[in-house]
């Protein structure tokens, strides 16, 4: 799912702003899914107070957005960035070759 969203966003935005658009879209998507899931859970809770139901809905949306959206998006971006060649290491090795 993350790769599909990343590819769609990178196709419709500039390369420099893909990560800036990717994270908020993921957070929003997972928050909406969490709110929907919390609402479905509350449908089965018949004898509970409204405050408890509101807490369930808001916590499920907030935690889903934070954990799966934000942190999942950061780990996805980090995984892609970690697979790229590191230019800083290449510069360091290139600069020290003339010392030999």
**CB 27: neighbour CB atoms within 10 A?**
19
Q: What pTM did the predictor assign?
A: 0.74
Q: What is the pLDDT of residues 38-96, one digit of tens each?
A: 999 999 988 889 999 999 999 999 999 999 999 999 999 898 777 777 655 554 454 55
Which of 28, 19, 8, 18 is closest to 69 using CA atoms?
A: 28
For the chain, the farthest-separated pair of C-alpha atoms sits apart, in whole angstroms, at 78
Higher pLDDT, 79 or 33: 33
Give 90's Cβ-side CA count (13 Å radius): 4
Give Cβ neighbours of residue 27 (< 8 Å, ≥ 6 apart): 65, 66, 69, 70, 73
């Amino acid at each position: 799912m993350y790769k599909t969203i990343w590819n769609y966003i990178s196709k419709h935005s500039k390369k420099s702003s893909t990560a800036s658009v990717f994270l908020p879209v993921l957070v929003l998507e997972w928050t909406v899914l969490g709110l929907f899931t919390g609402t479905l859970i509350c449908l089965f809770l018949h004898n509970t107070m409204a405050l408890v139901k509101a807490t369930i809905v808001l916590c499920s949306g907030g935690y889903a957005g934070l954990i799966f959206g934000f942190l999942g998006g950061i780990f996805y971006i980090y995984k892609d960035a970690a697979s790229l060649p590191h230019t800083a290491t290449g510069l360091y090795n290139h600069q020290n070759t003339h010392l030999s």
